[in-house]
Amino acid sequence: MSGFDQREGVIWFNGELIPWTDAKVHLLTHALHYGSAVFEGMRAYDGEIFKLTEHNQRLHTSAEILDFEVPYSVAELDKAARDVMRANNLSDAYVRPFAWRGSEQMGVSAQKTTINVAIAAWNWGSYFDPAAREKGLKFTFAKYRRPDPATAPVHSKAAGLYMICTIEKHRAEREGFADAVMLDWRGQIAECTGANIFFVKDGVIYTPTPDCFLDGITRRTVIGLAKQRGWKVIETGIMPEELADFTECFITGTAAEVMPVGSIGDYTFEVGDITRTLMNDYAALVRPAQAKVAAAG
């Protein structure tokens, strides 16, 4: 398989659709050296990008937190994302908008840099092995922790915040795990390297309070689905030793969607009714036409 720089198709780059292989930046781009970039990840189902506007609104918010302004409105970004999908003849796809500081100035200060924006889209299947939907994913604990909000822009989907996620994802995979669960600076459960996490006990759903990591769009969506079912959802601090009390565990994210977890270190969970129901509810929400056909059949 060729690298992501050698694919066919087009990318929306600073207002224009250009050939995929022409979408390049200079080696001295500020974002490459100082992490001054923000991004989003969206999925399209049956030609429709799920929560498109909400994602592009968050891109703007992330940029503001990093002290720069995205030079395109949310509406313009929405249109551009749809244009990219159409130009690449995509129906089911992953869509990646991102904004970054350019190469006009090198050094920590970046007041004179131009803000660039691009949107790419490509076919991408399940983030994790689909077979894990039956038995659950196998996780370990990460060594790096999510930082104190006073030490990092934790509520921005900023590229630099994912450096420790890559390190921990690599370590987990080398040790035979699908991913790692990260604690926060206090030692509480936070999230996985690229997804939020939930637990179930006695019919109640528990999830860490998102005070030092992203309150994911899929996370909020699944909380809404759970409440529609009449299930109570409690956002709270969760210490690792409390995992022994939970019977189910699942993760949520745009890439991950809703996936069950079978184990985290020595703690084990079943793929129970609440997890399975929310997996099915989410699938029906993102593919309403298919859900309607299935219900009619």
User: For residue 82, which phi and psi values (nearest 5 degrees)?
Assistant: -65, -40
- DSSP, collapsed to helix, strand or coil, labels residue 28 as coil
Identified catalytic residue from 79, 157, 169, 227: 157
Which neighbouring-strand residues pair with 90? none
Please give the structure tokens belonging to residue 176: 């035979």
Tokens of 109: 């200060």
Alpha carbons 291 and 134: distance in angstroms, whole number: 20
Radius of gyration of the chain (CA): 20
157 catalytically annotated:
yes
Encoded tokens for 91 = 């129906």
Instruction: Report how far Cα 216 is from the mean position of its chain's Cα atoms.
Output: 7
User: Looking at the DSSP assignment, which residues form a beta bridge with residue 182?
Assistant: 191
List the catalytic residues: 157
